[in-house]
Amino acid sequence: MAQVEKRGGLLRKSSAYKKPLKEKVVLMYDEIFMTEDPSKCSPRFWEELFLMKVNLEYLEGKLESLDGEELMKIKENINCLFQHCIQALGEEHPIRVVNALQTLCALIRGVHQKNKSTSGFDIINMLMGFDKAELCMKNLMESLDSLLCAEGSESLKSLCLKLLLCLVTVTDNISQNTILEYVMINSIFEAILQILSHPPSRREHGYDAVVLLALLVNYRKYESVNPYIVKLSIVDDEATLNGMGLVIAQALSEYNRQYKDKEEEHQGGFFSALTNMVGSMFIADAHEKISVQTNEAILLALYEAVHLNRNFITVLAQSHPEMGLVTTPVGPAPATPATPLGTTPPSADVISSVELPLDADVQTSNLLITFLKYSSIVMQDTKDEHRLHSGKLCLIILTCIAEDQYANAFLHDDNMNFRVNLHRMPMRHRKKAADKNLPCRPLVCAVLDLMVEFIVTHMMKEFPMDLYVRCIQVVHKLLCYQKKCRVRLHYTWRELWSALINLLKFLMSNETVLLAKHNIFTLALMIVNLFNMFITYGDTFLPTPSSYDELYYEIIRMHQSFDNLYSMVLRLSTNAGQWKEAASKVTHALVNIRAIINHFNPKIESYAAVNHISQLSEEQVLEVVRANYDTLTLKLQDGLDQYERYSEQHKEAAFFKELVRSISTNVRRNLAFHTLSQEVLLKEFSTIS
């Protein structure tokens, strides 16, 4: 058999550039594309076919050239080929299995190419025939399942996953891919879990497995009961969940690393670092692009895990000290094309989870930290559509995290202090903070920092209203937890307050532009209510009495902004415009802030007058504040510490559909690149026999 193979190889090589001589396999393909049954004249036709090296280009090209009607003519032969492929999957010799898998890829892709608009059922009919489809797919899925779970070759498993990915992403809209109905019935979920729970297979295939899972979960998510959703939501095996977390963390940290390298490359120029970096974002080379896109898939996987599976929350805090090690050798899938399949040196990543590296520079990290860093990079720039999507998804994930009690518990755990280097956008009016001087703090501080950072860096014409709303919601949810559990976080709240006030200022100064597109009052109301939270419930979560004084100081200092806001909402709520109701809510919410301003301002003025000081120092203002608390009465507002739970189905469905579509396209594009370079694979197996 090996001889046949070799001869085939030789022939192919010599014929590569000389047209007249055709490969044997090509001749055989041609036979299939006749209307007659190819096995009629040569009974061993199918057996021989799978011994030949697959010529993907030819086969796919041939299929693509046919439209639906033409295809229907040779349907019998196509069906036959499909069936025999599936049969060959059960063969002992891996060469046949490999060839069958690749042929299947080509078949599925080729048939879809010309028939984008055709209904899913017709495509099933073309490929398998209605009558046999169910059995066919059952056999296919079972074969794939057993190949994935067997102790077999890693490259074979990888090819199986590629086939599955190919199958899942073959349509732009995953929910229109009717073949997946069979994948729902014949679940591959357990095989995916198994890959994730075993470290060796996780290293090889984790990335593909996670992406595949994320995509499968999104199949007809809102219309029917997707068994993958059900199953994913009840996984509680820690090894598996950790495996999944590791894969995600690795992919994200790989991205962070690449970004950092890029950033360092571009630094040193005397020109504003800003232009440099933004430039580098857009003139990114192909590799960079790939990594950006694939990370959306990973982010989606992270989202689904966090959103669906409560047990996964613990994984977020699980330390991954080994992460620092994955610098070069084994990256996630984007790097795999460089390292031929199945030939990755096993020594590269053999650190068992117990033996931790001794490198002192490697800071122990966890998925959440990696994710926060990643978010800080992605959210820097939201102009690009991909990045806008990613940024939004990051905020959605943070929302889910901020709602979870367990996640909050470790976010606020005083004993779990970390130094999180968030990326900060270099801006003209501020210097890049020195990384080393960061204090070690509970993780929630990093989340708050990230939110503050977002708030101050996105006040622009293309106002990302949606992201702002989410951002404020995250802060609010964290505060609700702190209030409820009486966590007194030592955080410099002042930064948050001034960021929020600046945002209010921005909203007012761009009132006309913004009002044309957005309802700015919901955002304003949320901001004001955050302040109300501090004002009325500050005693339950502020770290010191002086921080409460500082809050008052900040409000009094910035009273102009609140005054302006009040006059604006008052104006709009008395008019009978479309914003009447929204604006009047804000007026009501402002009652305490206005009370504070009206109470203290005269006192401060008289203090200044009495002491003959024109400009009071902060200390003097605080003194006045402290002295005059008792005569101030506040109104307790309802529902300050309540929030609406995140719900995907109604509000976010469109977003996720779009996201999945773009992920599908990317995965498909990258797949084309991968599957064609299987020489190594063949070499590996040709030596076996």
Partner 1 sequence: MMVVLELFLLSEACLEARSLAVAMGDTVVEPAPLKPTSEPTPGPSGNNGGSLLSVITEGVGELSVIDPEVAQKACQEVLEKVKLLHGGVAISSRGTPLELVNGDGVDSEIRCLDDPPSQIREEEDEMGATVASGTAKGARRRRQNNSAKQSWLLRLFESKLFDISMAISYLYNSKEPGVQAYIGNRLFCFRNEDVDFYLPQLLNMYIHMDEDVGDAIKPYIVHRCRQSINFSLQCALLLGAYSSDMHISTQRHSRGTKLRKLILSDELKPAHRKRELPSLSPAPDTGLSPSKRTHQRSKSDATASISLSSNLKRTASNPKVENEDEPVRLAPEREFIKSLMAIGKRLATLPTKEQKTQRLISELSLLNHKLPARVWLPTAAFDHHVVRVPHTQAVVLNSKDKAPYLIYVEVLECENFDTTNVPARIPENRIRSTRSVENLPECGITHEQRAGSFSTVPNYDNDDEAWSVDDIGELQVELPEVHTNSCDNISQFSVDSITSQESKEPVFIAAGDIRRRLSEQLAHTPTAFKRDPEDPSAVALKEPWQEKVRRIREGSPYGHLPNWRLLSVIVKCGDDLRQELLAFQVLKQLQSIWEQERVPLWIKPYKILVISADSGMIEPVVNAVSIHQVKKQSQLSLLDYFLQEHGSYTTEAFLSAQRNFVQSCAGYCLVCYLLQVKDRHNGNILLDAEGHIIHIDFGFILSSSPRNLGFETSAFKLTTEFVDVMGGLDGDMFNYYKMLMLQGLIAARKHMDKVVQIVEIMQQGSQLPCFHGSSTIRNLKERFHMSMTEEQLQLLVEQMVDGSMRSITTKLYDGFQYLTNGIM
Q: Is 234 in the site for partner 1 (CB under 8 A)?
A: yes
Q: Is 239 in the site for partner 1 (CB under 8 A)?
A: yes
Q: Return d(Cα 86, Cα 142) in angstroms, integer.
A: 10
Residue among 9 and 324 whose Cβ is closer to partner 1: 324
Q: Return d(Cα 665, Cα 102) in angstroms, integer.
A: 20
In sequence order, which residues have a C-beta less than 8 Å from that of residue 225 and are 6 or more positions away?
A: none
Residue among 354 and 434 whose Cβ is closer to partner 1: 354
Positions 147 through 166 that interact with partner 1 (CB under 8 A): 149
At its nearest, how many Å lie between partner 1 and the CB of residue 346? 20
Residue 634 in tokens: 């506040």
Q: Is 356 in the site for partner 1 (CB under 8 A)?
A: yes
Q: Which of 23, 91, 172, 238 binds partner 1 (CB under 8 A)?
A: 238
Q: Which of 353, 560, 578, 677 binds partner 1 (CB under 8 A)?
A: 353
Of 44-52, 351-359, 381-389, 499-507, the segment contacting partner 1 by CB under 8 A is 351-359
Residue among 24 and 441 whose Cβ is closer to partner 1: 441
Residue among 295 and 309 whose Cβ is closer to partner 1: 309
**CA distances (Å), 135 to each of 83, 127, 176, 228, 617, in order?**
10, 13, 21, 21, 82
Angle separating helix axes 130-149 and 189-197, nearest 10 degrees: 10
Q: Where are the alpha helices (DSSP H) in 437-464?
A: 443-457
Site string for partner 1, 424-443 (x = CB under 8 A): ----------------x---
Positions 179 through 208 that interact with partner 1 (CB under 8 A): 189-190, 193-194, 197-198
Q: Return d(Cα 332, Cα 297) in angstroms, integer.
A: 12
Q: Return d(Cα 316, Cα 411) in angstroms, integer.
A: 10
At its nearest, how many Å lie between partner 1 and the CB of residue 101? 22
Positions 514 through 543 that interact with partner 1 (CB under 8 A): 535-536, 538-540, 542
Of 162-170, 219-227, 245-253, 680-688, the segment contacting partner 1 by CB under 8 A is 219-227
Q: Where are the alpha helices (DSSP H) in 486-578?
A: 493-509, 511-517, 520-541, 545-557, 559-574
Q: Is 455 in the site for partner 1 (CB under 8 A)?
A: no
Residue among 275 and 417 whose Cβ is closer to partner 1: 417
Residue among 380 and 408 whose Cβ is closer to partner 1: 408
Going by C-alpha positions, the residue among 126, 130, 109 that lies closest to residue 75 is 126
Positions 650 through 679 that interact with partner 1 (CB under 8 A): 650
Q: Is 233 in the site for partner 1 (CB under 8 A)?
A: yes
Q: Which of 321, 324, 337, 340 binds partner 1 (CB under 8 A)?
A: 321
Q: Is 15 in the site for partner 1 (CB under 8 A)?
A: no
DSSP lists the bridge partners of residue 21 as none
Angle separating helix axes 443-457 and 493-509, nearest 10 degrees: 20
Going by C-alpha positions, the residue among 431, 393, 452 that lies closest to residue 252 is 393
Q: Which of 117, 611, 617, 633 binds partner 1 (CB under 8 A)?
A: 633
Rg (CA), the chain: 30
Q: Return d(Cα 198, Cα 247) in angstroms, integer.
A: 12
Residue among 167 and 308 whose Cβ is closer to partner 1: 308
At its nearest, how many Å lie between partner 1 and the CB of residue 501? 19
Residue among 371 and 481 whose Cβ is closer to partner 1: 481
Going by C-alpha positions, the residue among 74, 70, 90, 69 that lies closest to residue 29 is 74
Query: In this structure, how many other beta carbons lie within 10 angstroms of the beta carbon of residue 674?
Result: 18
Positions 456 through 485 that interact with partner 1 (CB under 8 A): 480-481, 483-484
Q: Is 99 in the site for partner 1 (CB under 8 A)?
A: no
At its nearest, how many Å lie between partner 1 and the CB of residue 454? 22
Positions 365 through 424 that interact with partner 1 (CB under 8 A): 366, 403-406, 409-410, 413-419
Q: Which of 588, 601, 658, 673 binds partner 1 (CB under 8 A)?
A: 588
Count of residues making up the chain:
689
Q: Return d(Cα 3, Cα 235) in angstroms, integer.
A: 48
Residue 348 in tokens: 């590269």
Q: Is 572 in the site for partner 1 (CB under 8 A)?
A: no
Q: Which of 120, 643, 655, 680 binds partner 1 (CB under 8 A)?
A: 643
Number of residues that bind partner 1 (CB under 8 A): 94
Q: Is 9 in the site for partner 1 (CB under 8 A)?
A: no
Q: Is 319 in the site for partner 1 (CB under 8 A)?
A: yes
Q: Return d(Cα 566, Cα 551) in angstroms, integer.
A: 19
Going by C-alpha positions, the residue among 426, 373, 133, 390 that lies closest to residue 259 is 373
Beta-sheet pairing, 441-442 with 417-418: antiparallel
Q: Which of 86, 308, 378, 450 binds partner 1 (CB under 8 A)?
A: 308
Residue among 33 and 656 whose Cβ is closer to partner 1: 656
Site string for partner 1, 44-63 (x = CB under 8 A): --------------------
Let me know if 18 is exposed, middle or buried by CB neighbors in 10 A (0-12, 13-18, 19+): exposed
At its nearest, how many Å lie between partner 1 and the CB of residue 400? 12
H/E stretch holding 418 reads: strand 417-418
Residue among 15 and 540 whose Cβ is closer to partner 1: 540
- CA–chain centroid gap for 557, Å, is 40
Residue among 341 and 525 whose Cβ is closer to partner 1: 525
Residue among 76 and 190 whose Cβ is closer to partner 1: 190
Q: Return d(Cα 128, Cα 137) in angstroms, integer.
A: 9
Query: In this structure, how many other beta carbons lie within 10 angstroms of the beta carbon of residue 426?
Result: 16
Q: Return d(Cα 551, Cα 622) in angstroms, integer.
A: 10
Q: Which of 7, 57, 200, 222 binds partner 1 (CB under 8 A)?
A: 222
Q: Is 494 in the site for partner 1 (CB under 8 A)?
A: no
Can you tell me whether residue 441 is helix, strand or coil? strand
Can you tell me whether residue 52 is helix, strand or coil? coil
Residue among 262 and 484 whose Cβ is closer to partner 1: 484
